[in-house]
Structure 1
Amino acid sequence: MSEIIEVSSDWLALREEEDARARSRELALEAARRLAPGPIVVHDLGSGTGSMMRWLAPLLPGPQSWVLHDWNPGLTERATDDLAPLDRDDRPVAVRSHSGQLAHLRPGDLDGASLVTASAVLDVLTSAEIHAIARACIAVGSPVLLSLSVTGRVHLDPPDARDELVETAFNAHQRRVEGGRRLLGRHGAALARGLFLRAGWSVRPVDTYWRLGDHDPRLLGQWFDGWVDAALEQHPELQVETAGYRELRCAQLGRGALTAAVAHTDLLAWRR
């Protein structure tokens, strides 16, 4: 069964700065305080091109080694195109990659983990995959930092009566069957939180937001097009109800009169 949902490296590059602004620095620093003394080994799940590593490595002590896990080796290869990021003490981190499906993740795949991380991943996984991640992390016992899981809530300014129709259809699209896999969408973070709580772990959630339109209008434009396209793919009949909607929003975007707040949640889980 394929686990790959195609994500372009261009899209990952475009969103990287906004991801960095949105992630909870507070949870990252708390994760740093919960690390055992000594060299740090971070396993990053669904790592893509390594944006989580570039954001988090400077907030953690060193020396650090990162293991980038992704089902698309073409993305992890891009993570080492540039110089390795520096840790909190200005030392370069060591980086290696591991290819494999998260549904098959085992505790041995997280060998030596001081911390397990993932960013913008839970909503594109299945229940079986999140159960596998939780089982492996619980067995290893290291803290787990899960960032930027979408919650399904979007606020566009100025508002439009059709926003809610598109939001509802988009959230349904996130629960679609993809390659034989039933995605969890906005329920992914809730499932992960429940699994760690059931195991007796502590879990701290923090609401986080993409705030689009304040910095790079290209990101707002690409996000909006993808949001509407997914909604219409899920419910083509909305073409009639949302006639003129995209044109209105694109005109607002063109004159700098549109912003969007896209809600996410970050979770830090640790063994009591």
Structure 2
Amino acid sequence: MGFSADWLALREPADIAARDAGLLAGAVAAAGADPVILDLGCGTGSTLRTLAPHLPAHARWHLVDNDPALLERAATEAPGRAETHALDLRDLDALPLEGVTLVTASALLDLMPAPWIAALAAHLAKAGLPFYGALSYDGAMTWDPAFPEDAQITRAFNDHQRGDKGLGPALGPDAATRAAAIFAAAGFRVTEGDSPWRLDAETAPLQRALLEGIAGAAAETGAVGAAAWGDRRAAAAADSLCVIGHRDLLALPARQP
């Protein structure tokens, strides 16, 4: 399970624009006056770059990923204040929770199975730590202009997203609602918000890269005409409006550490 630095850079502006502003502010408040943030699946540091302008300059970070190259890139965003951890997220016991005030994850929960999210919630409940999970794909895709095949391709892509990404069958488009229920059952106070991508002519390169991935995934499920649909959509990207649904959540523990 991993993503290229090029893809992460391409999507970052859309991610930043999409985040629910209220939940981001709530996450910053939950991090406290002396923030120590543990970012799961940090990639090149997008969450760090997004939160940093809202945090005190002395905020410290624990960055977790399984890709050393991405970790090295992410650490440059907070020189002297970021510690990297090349970890397999299967091993939640290895997470460096000591001294942490907030745990974050962006575009990660939809790749994970329900038991993993439940185990994470249990770990954080025991530690009394808040969790900010942003940008979970929720299964909704709309396009303007619409094509007759849109609904079929969306269904096929969503089925593909529920496949095993390395830790068991992923929740995919069900992640946002399931994660909220899991954290609530673990005793957290959960707040949710929409964080959709809104893509237009200015983001045509992201649309085209996204379409390549959607069409390829749909084709793997056996969707007839997926490649042709992707080609037509990519050709029209400069004249299309696209909304890709995501959800954010903020889970605050019943007790503080």
Scaled by the length of structure 1, the TM-score of the pair is 0.87
What pairs up with 1:165-184 in 2 under 5 angstroms?
165-179=152-166, 181-184=168-171
Which SS does the other structure have where 1:216 is aligned? Answer: helix
Determine the C-alpha separation between the residues in 2 that align with 1:12 and 1:121. 13
What pairs up with 1:102-251 in 2 under 5 angstroms?
102-106=89-93, 109-179=96-166, 181-236=168-223, 238-239=224-225, 244-251=228-235
Which SS does the other structure have where 1:151 is aligned? Answer: strand
Asked if 2 retains the 8 angstrom alpha-carbon contact of 1:103 and 1:128, the reply is no
Q: 1:184 to 1:178 in 2, by over 3 A?
A: same
Asked if 2 retains the 8 angstrom alpha-carbon contact of 1:64 and 1:93, the reply is no
Gaps spanning 5+ residues in structure 2: where?
none
**Range moving further from structure 2, 113-122 or 214-223:** 214-223
Shift of the alpha carbon at 1:205? Answer: 0.3
- Identify the match of residue 59 of structure 1 among 50, 54, 59: 54
Shift of the alpha carbon at 1:76? Answer: 0.9
The residue number in structure 2 matching 1:29 is: 25
Gaps spanning 5+ residues in structure 1: where?
85-91
Shift of the alpha carbon at 1:30? Answer: 1.6
The C-alpha deviation readout for 1:160-196, integer Å capped at 9, x for no partner, is 1210000000000011134472122112222321121
Determine the C-alpha separation between the residues in 1 that align with 2:94 and 2:69. 24
Does structure 1 residue 14 correspond to structure 2 residue 1?
no
Asked if 1 retains the 8 angstrom alpha-carbon contact of 2:65 and 2:86, the reply is yes
**Range moving further from structure 2, 147-156 or 244-253:** 244-253
Asked if 1 retains the 8 angstrom alpha-carbon contact of 2:36 and 2:62, the reply is yes
- Identify the match of residue 41 of structure 1 among 36, 47, 53: 36
Determine the C-alpha separation between the residues in 1 that align with 2:98 and 2:196. 32
Shift of the alpha carbon at 1:34? Answer: 3.0
Number of aligned residues: 254
Determine the C-alpha separation between the residues in 2 that align with 1:268 and 1:13. 25
Determine the C-alpha separation between the residues in 2 that align with 1:108 and 1:52. 18
Give the root-mean-square deviation of aligned CA atoms.
Answer: 2.0
Q: 1:232 to 1:9 in 2, by over 3 A?
A: same
